[in-house]
Structure 1
């Protein structure tokens, strides 16, 4: 466990982040959600921190929860220590990768289970001794991992004609290929779906508005659907694989990348409704920060760029 020694107490990074989460949210419940813990587990952990340090940190008598004055005075120092420790860990990991043939890649969830394995297969075939650590995350998390240098390359979707959220002054991007967001549904239940569609409603699987596919659905798909029928959300999930399975059992129409649904469409489990409902083109891109200092990262990037060139040549 990463830790720093402060005034005789061993301060773990997770403790610092717990304290900051409460300070920034003003709520144990919201802080617990941010730290991916139940409120009771988070409260116990905060109590444990206070017992280990030997002082109370929060004024629990006030709503929202506030830092005690002595804690508030040290808030900037706590934030600095947390940032310094995160950077230290990132530097150590980067140094370890530089000393070996290791590379870390972040992949958007939907790509992790479809196209990214093919990209890694290509890399493995050309660079036999390279060890890849693959991290699956949503789009924002992929870029956060890239910016904090916890990964060397991110493989993510992008809408044609739009930029990534990081300025191209800091990153370089290679378009590896393309995919398409397609509407799919249980092939054995399309008669019932058609009847509901004819009656003026379309059950569908929603994505949260803060995730990439949720934004695409809200901005570019549903406005077109509303010209045809009334879309009715039947379930919501941030996991594309879960949306796919919900479509398989007939809960609602799911818009998922074709690369993810291809096998289920081919074996007749899913019906591709693209002839009736709107679809949208997606670009598959690889992104890295400028100035990668070690050979293995540059070699992997060169292979990805070469793969992108092959895809473009095949398309031409």
Structure 2
């Protein structure tokens, strides 16, 4: 039995969708389905109701869910304990965070904690999906990421403690040049769609964008001009005047704010949170001290 099968099963339980769960686990849907089938074969019965949309568990699946979560938690905890006893490097606090927050809020957290804790950091950086997966696999002690509770994620479990570091906002940006803005014609028409600087389909911010469209009072008309999964790359393209794209406010530094600004009304914006996550189980003293200091700083409004 492969622990990845349990992690796949738990991801599917949380996301209730094979496609999204496979994307989160960074495997093809076909491979993901085979791994779920392998787990069912190992257990000896069906865990998923065939053909149900959204995904539903069988009675056996419901019974197995808690055991699977507990098993993964125990195994990851055992691995972390063994690693910490064998490698001095593990005395570092390992923080996983997406690229955009590594450039903004990780520095903010360091400033908040300056002089409060004595430890070194190992920072895991990537896109939101990858760093979340690595955190869930036990490769990091703390995850710092954007979050919107309306979007299902394997991170939304009782096994995780969630701390809101600060509020952020996700909204469309375009160059401040008036003539270019008017030429974009946001939010577009069927005959004249606006050029969209878009995230790739697997990106977390693409899911936020889709959620914005679901809540919007009208359907925008757009054509994708450029597509990428990194907000920093999209920001540069927006600054060059190639179209309209959604960015978190935290990704727009002072230099960018002199070139680009929000476009459209509040109906195109989405409130999000920048959150820190840690497992509920007891962690290394350095991690516990950092977490306690971070909670106190946030409680004091810093």
Identify which of 280, 290, 296 aligns with 1:300: 290
- What are the equivalent positions in structure 2 for 1:1-316 lying under 5 Å apart? 93-95=83-85, 101-127=91-117, 129-160=118-149, 164-188=153-177, 190-197=178-185, 200=189, 201-221=193-213, 224=216, 227=218, 229-264=220-255, 266=257, 268-275=258-265, 278-311=268-301
Query: 2:203 & 2:173 partners in 1: Cα distance?
Result: 20
Q: Is the 8 A contact 1:103 1:296 kept in 2?
A: yes
Query: 1:285 & 1:130 partners in 2: Cα distance?
Result: 21
Distance 1:96 1:240, change over 3 A: farther
Query: 1:132 & 1:252 partners in 2: Cα distance?
Result: 38
Structure 1's consecutive aligned runs of 4 or more residues displaced over 3 angstroms after TM superposition are 86-101, 160-164, 274-277
Helix, strand or coil at the partner of 1:126: coil
Query: 1:172 & 1:88 partners in 2: Cα distance?
Result: 19
CA deviation string 1:46-96 (max 9, x = no partner): xxxxxxxxxxxxxxxxxxxxxxxxxxxxxxxxxxxxxxxx99986664336
Query: 1:289 & 1:102 partners in 2: Cα distance?
Result: 16
Q: Is the 8 A contact 1:264 1:270 kept in 2?
A: no
Q: Is the 8 A contact 1:124 1:130 kept in 2?
A: no
Give the superposition deviation at 1:171. 1.1
The total of aligned residue pairs comes to: 226
If the length of structure 2 is used for normalisation, what is the TM-score? Answer: 0.65
Helix, strand or coil at the partner of 1:216: helix
If the length of structure 1 is used for normalisation, what is the TM-score? Answer: 0.62
Cα root mean square deviation, aligned? 3.1
Unaligned runs of 5+ residues in structure 2 are 1-25, 28-75
Q: Is the 8 A contact 2:95 2:144 kept in 1?
A: yes
CA deviation string 1:222-267 (max 9, x = no partner): 7638x2641221000001100100000011112111121141354x
CA deviation string 1:17-40 (max 9, x = no partner): xxxxxxxxxxxxxxxxx89xxxxx
Q: Is the 8 A contact 2:84 2:91 kept in 1?
A: no
